[in-house]
Amino acid sequence: MNMHATALAHPNIAFIKFWGLADEARRIPANNSLSMNIGCLATKTSVTFDPALKADVLTLNDELVSGDGLARVQRFMDRIRHMAEKDLYAHITSTNNFPIGAGLASSAAGFAALTLAGTVALGLSLSEKALSALARFGSGSACRSIPGGFVEWVVDPLTGETYAQSIAPADHWELVDCIAILNQDHKPVGSEMGMRSAASSPLQAARVADAKRRFSRCRTAILSRDFAALSQITELDSNLMHAVMMTSNPPLYYWRPGSLAIMQAVKAWQAEGLPVTFTLDAGPNVHLITTRASVDEVLHRLRQFPEVIDIRSGIPAGPARLLEQDSPSRTVQV
Ligand code: PMV
């Protein structure tokens, strides 16, 4: 057995958001979600099982991790050990080419890469569906970073199984995600904790009740490359999730004044005919989705905002994949 593997995965941006679990222990989402993998961002994770170790050791961006962050990864590794029926611990080394914990879905890319590298290193050979189903126990949205391109995370109404699958490959639609980064700090309330209080918002039931309709419209918009329809449903879905966050107990305010300024500007740009739309995850950064033809214009306009400290842009990306060799540098090659 090899005992060692390295994998790379991209984070994803959801057009239809996952926010809240119908079953926490089995990690069944309250609603189906839809996303696109983001090409400019990636996490590379190496897993090496070592018979001499008494516990997993985690290094994230060259820093040794302890406490809750380590415990979360160790619990996830326990699942892999259980599946493989092996009692071995590992050195886990993960590097990102983007700031973690700032709403750029570091946990999605991180757990997707860990799922692939961890299972392969321990001799398991899982299907994409099984990898995706497993990844959701690390972080819900991680299951959507296993398949490539445009991805849906669904619950099978007959079997109750839940996993993500590609609805279209990365080259299906020449969209670009321009991410306006307003804050690189670690967010105060992570999505796992925030989501636990989703049901305390009187708006969550309404958000979930209408999710099937939004999901189906968004799916059709993606498949038919209908930017206007995608735009309408993406903004609605993002606003609904943030309305739930803001009305939860305790309330969660992820938007910053700068986030709102950009959202309002997008509405004005749309009125001028620019194909651009926005969506925000559990953080203040604004993802502006546009077409390849309009990306320079969108980037130029975004640079005018004093609140924007950095901008990343990426086209739709492929699935989580194994890397043949460890690259010697810390740099994540995308
Ligand atoms: O992957 P989690 O469990 O951290 O949840 C992510 C939730 C959002 O990013 C806010 C929405 C989504 O569907 O990606």
The ligand 1 atom nearest the CA atom of 281? 10
Mutate to test the pocket of ligand 1, among 100, 107, 191, 195 (most ligand atoms within 8 A of CB): 191
Query: What is the 142 CA–ligand 1 centroid distance (Å)?
Result: 8
Per-residue confidence (pLDDT) for residue 41, from 0 to 100: 93
Q: How far apart are CA 90 and CA 40, in angstroms?
A: 28
Q: Which residue has its alpha carbon closest to ligand 1 atom 9?
A: 281
Would you say residue 322 lies in a domain?
A: no
Do 297 and 308 lie in a common domain?
Answer: yes
The ligand 1 atom nearest the CA atom of 16? 13
Would you say residue 190 lies in a domain?
A: yes
Domain extent at residue 103: 4-170
Per-residue confidence (pLDDT) for residue 285, from 0 to 100: 94
Q: Which residue has its alpha carbon closest to ligand 1 atom 6?
A: 141
Do 216 and 153 lie in a common domain?
Answer: no
- CATH code (residue 134): 3.30.230.10
Per-residue confidence (pLDDT) for residue 327, from 0 to 100: 47
Would you say residue 101 lies in a domain?
A: yes
Would you say residue 327 lies in a domain?
A: no
Do 120 and 231 lie in a common domain?
Answer: no
Judge whether 236 and 221 are in contact, CB under 8 Å. Answer: no
Per-residue confidence (pLDDT) for residue 98, from 0 to 100: 76
Do 63 and 194 lie in a common domain?
Answer: no
* Closest residue by Cα to residue 173 from 290, 9, 299: 290
Q: What share of the chain is helix, strand, coil (3-state, %, to 5)?
A: 35, 25, 40
Would you say residue 212 lies in a domain?
A: yes
- Which among 170, 203, 221 is the end of a domain? 170
* Closest residue by Cα to residue 101 from 93, 114, 110, 91: 110
Q: How far apart are CA 69 and CA 57, in angstroms?
A: 11
- CATH code (residue 229): 3.30.70.890
Sign of CA dihedral 306, 309, 314, 320: negative
- Which among 170, 189, 209 is the end of a domain? 170
Do 298 and 183 lie in a common domain?
Answer: yes
Query: What is the 110 CA–ligand 1 centroid distance (Å)?
Result: 13
Query: What is the 160 CA–ligand 1 centroid distance (Å)?
Result: 20
Mutate to test the pocket of ligand 1, among 141, 195, 286 (most ligand atoms within 8 A of CB): 141
Do 138 and 205 lie in a common domain?
Answer: no
* Closest residue by Cα to residue 192 from 321, 93, 101: 101
Phi/psi class of residue 35: alpha, beta or left (left: φ > 0; alpha: ψ in -120 to 50)? Answer: beta
The ligand 1 atom nearest the CA atom of 105? 9
Per-residue confidence (pLDDT) for residue 330, from 0 to 100: 42
SS3 of residue 220 by DSSP:
helix
Query: What is the 109 CA–ligand 1 centroid distance (Å)?
Result: 11
Query: What is the 76 CA–ligand 1 centroid distance (Å)?
Result: 17
Query: How many domains, the chain?
Result: 2
Query: What is the 18 CA–ligand 1 centroid distance (Å)?
Result: 6
Do 138 and 282 lie in a common domain?
Answer: no
Structure tokens at 58: 């985690």
SS3 of residue 294 by DSSP:
helix
Do 124 and 222 lie in a common domain?
Answer: no
Judge whether 36 and 151 are in contact, CB under 8 Å. Answer: yes
Q: Which residue has its alpha carbon closest to ligand 1 atom 4?
A: 191
Mean pLDDT, each 10-residue run in order, the chain (334 residues): 91 98 96 97 97 97 94 98 98 87 75 98 97 98 98 95 98 98 76 93 98 98 98 98 98 96 98 98 95 98 96 97 66 48
| Alpha-carbon 109 to chain mean position | 6
Count of alpha carbons within 13 Å of 36, Cβ hemisphere only? 30
- Which among 170, 197, 216 is the end of a domain? 170
Structure tokens at 74: 């160790």
SS3 of residue 53 by DSSP:
coil
Measured CA to CA in angstroms, residue 139 lies from 106, 143, 192, 262 at distances of 10, 8, 8, 28
Query: What is the 207 CA–ligand 1 centroid distance (Å)?
Result: 15
The ligand 1 atom nearest the CA atom of 33? 13
Would you say residue 331 lies in a domain?
A: no
Do 275 and 186 lie in a common domain?
Answer: yes
Q: How far apart are CA 242 and CA 29, in angstroms?
A: 17
Query: What is the 287 CA–ligand 1 centroid distance (Å)?
Result: 14
Would you say residue 329 lies in a domain?
A: no
- DSSP H helical ranges for the chain: 67-84, 106-121, 128-135, 191-196, 204-209, 211-223, 227-246, 257-271, 295-302
Q: How far apart are CA 243 and CA 27, in angstroms?
A: 23
The ligand 1 atom nearest the CA atom of 190? 4
Query: What is the 240 CA–ligand 1 centroid distance (Å)?
Result: 14
Q: How far apart are CA 101 and CA 92, in angstroms?
A: 19
Would you say residue 325 lies in a domain?
A: no
Which residues form ligand 1's pocket by a CB distance below 6 Å?
14, 17-19, 33, 105, 107-108, 139-141, 191-192, 281-282
3-state secondary structure 83-139: HHCCCCEEEEEEEECCCCCCCCCHHHHHHHHHHHHHHHHCCCCCCHHHHHHHHCCCC
Do 242 and 291 lie in a common domain?
Answer: yes
Do 53 and 15 lie in a common domain?
Answer: yes
Do 271 and 229 lie in a common domain?
Answer: yes
